[in-house]
Amino acid sequence: MCITFNRMAQFDTSSSIDDSRTALMGRLAQRVRDERNKKGLPRRVVSERSGVSPRYLAQLEAGEGNISIALLERVAGALDVPIEALIAQQQISADSDAQRIAQQFSRASADVRRQIVSLLEDKKQADIKAGRICLLGLRGAGKTTLGRLAAKALGTPFVELDSLIEGETGMPVAEVLSLYGVDGLRRLEAEALERVIKTDGPMILSVPVDLVEQARPFGRLLARFHTVWLQASRRSMSCVYATEAIRRTQWRMTSHRLLRTLTR
């Protein structure tokens, strides 16, 4: 059993090596072809520059060659690319400026590398958030009023998450909450927010304040929007809540009348 196991292990190792070699030769062939075509170089010219025969180059580009490191270095020189750009698993830019920057980065201290990475990530985040503002606040804080005014002044769209949900479900958010419950409403909020996030360009977005209780959607929001928290005076909030209470009472009365009509 031990002999059989050892033979199987040797076979698996040999098979793995063959697969790795095949992948390497395929990658090398593809990159040599791509670099030669990109530079508009006939195979004959590459042969003259490198001293490698056209027939051997043809085999190399077909993935059939067994080229030595010395000859591959000459081919890379003829193509004006670093040898690692032809064989590395991850694509390496053959652009001279990119190569120079990569070399400087590799020689830099760990602290300098962290600063460079941080700078690039900050710039990326700034690009993602550019012109995208999200207004948060309690009901009655003025998200809709301020959002519409800001959008008009900036010439950007104004989007309300609640309006998207109402358009999707065909009913007011209060009815959605009554029908689907808190969990159902939060799921709809997360789905609507994801659709907004996938759109491009500046906008003013208004979202319900309870979104902050949903860790993942709120994290996605913070990563893609500049957030502005709105506050309102106690008096303004009292007026809003009183109005909302009247509206809820009117809606209940209407619902009861409708039920009575349907059950007669």
Mean pLDDT of 125-129: 69
Give the dihedral sign, CA 222/227/231/232: negative
Q: Is the pLDDT of residue 108 over 70?
A: yes
Instruction: Say if CB 230 and CB 137 are below 8 A apart.
Output: yes
Neighbours of 78 (CB within 10 A): 22
Structure-token pair, residue 150: 């800001």
85 and 134 inside one domain:
no
150 and 52 inside one domain:
no
Q: Is the pLDDT of residue 57 over 80?
A: yes
180 and 225 inside one domain:
yes
Q: What is the pLDDT of residue 112?
A: 82
Instruction: Say if CB 106 and CB 114 are below 8 A apart.
Output: no
The CATH number of whichever domain residue 13 belongs to comes to 1.10.260.40
258 and 226 inside one domain:
no
Q: What are phi and psi of 42, to 5 degrees?
A: -65, 155
User: Which of 3-17, 113-127, 200-214 bottoms out in mean pLDDT, i.e. has the lowest?
Assistant: 3-17
Query: What single string gives the DSSP state of each residue in 79-120?
Result: HTS-THHHH-SS-----HHHHHHHHHHHHS-HHHHHHHHHHH
Count of positions (residues) in the chain: 264
Q: Is residue 110 part of a domain?
A: no
Q: Is the pLDDT of residue 92 over 60?
A: no
Q: What is the pLDDT of residue 240?
A: 56
Q: Is the pLDDT of residue 1 over 60?
A: no
Q: What is the pLDDT of residue 29?
A: 85
Q: Is residue 61 part of a domain?
A: yes
136 and 211 inside one domain:
yes
Q: Is residue 182 part of a domain?
A: yes
Quick one: how far is CA 86 from the chain centroid?
Answer: 28
Mean pLDDT of 112-139: 76
Domain extent, residue 84, equals: 2-95
223 and 253 inside one domain:
no
Write down the mean pLDDT value for the chain.
78
Q: Is residue 109 part of a domain?
A: no
pTM over 0.75: no
69 and 133 inside one domain:
no
Mean pLDDT of 37-42: 86
Our count of domains for the chain comes to 3
Q: What is the pLDDT of residues 2-33, one digit of tens each?
A: 444 455 445 455 566 667 778 888 888 888 88
User: Which of 63-67, 95-99, 162-166, 237-241 bottoms out in mean pLDDT, i.e. has the lowest?
Assistant: 237-241
Neighbours of 123 (CB within 10 A): 10
Q: What is the pLDDT of residues 171-200, one digit of tens each?
A: 998 888 888 888 889 999 999 999 999 888
217 and 239 inside one domain:
no
Say which residue, 205 or 142, is predicted with more confidence.
205
Q: What is the pLDDT of residues 216-244, one digit of tens each?
A: 899 989 988 999 998 776 665 565 555 55
d(CA 135, CA 143): 6
Q: Is residue 107 part of a domain?
A: no
138 and 77 inside one domain:
no
Q: How many CA atoms lie within 13 Å of 190's alpha carbon, on the beta-carbon side?
A: 15
